[in-house]
Amino acid sequence: MDIEEIKEKAKLDKYEISFHAEKERYAEDITICDLETAIYNGEILEDYPNDPRGPSCLILGYSQNQPIHIVCGHAPMKWIRIVTVYIPKMPKWIDERTRAKGGKINA
């Protein structure tokens, strides 16, 4: 996936948030503004081109000085689908860039 394409689609509101991502966003107290801000300044941390559900990637971005992980893929009509969103923390993450030993891929 291409980060510039993801950023452009986010700016044009051409994205959808899965039910799972919406539940996680609410549980982590991540606002839509936080989500969009993290995408706008984000980078692809991991790419999952062979995901059985379709190509996806893990974006690391920041909002209000807080790291946010966003897993996204393609949706119908060439939109972006936000699959999940969360704040990286133990036990799965040592820091926002480093998986903990045994931390599985979230895609």
Residue 107 has pLDDT above 50, yes or no: no
Within 13 A of 105's CA, how many CA atoms are on the CB side?
A: 12
Quick one: average pLDDT of 14-25? 97
Q: How confident is the model at residue 95 (pLDDT cuts 50, 70, 90)?
A: very high
As a whole number, the mean pLDDT across the chain is 93
pLDDT 10s digits, 39-70 = 999 999 999 999 888 899 999 999 999 999 99
Q: Give the rounded percent of residues in the chain with a pLDDT score beyond 90.
A: 81
Q: Which residues contact 99 (CB under 8 A, 6 or more apart)?
A: 92, 93
Query: Could you tell me how many residues make up the chain?
Result: 107
Predicted model pTM: 0.91
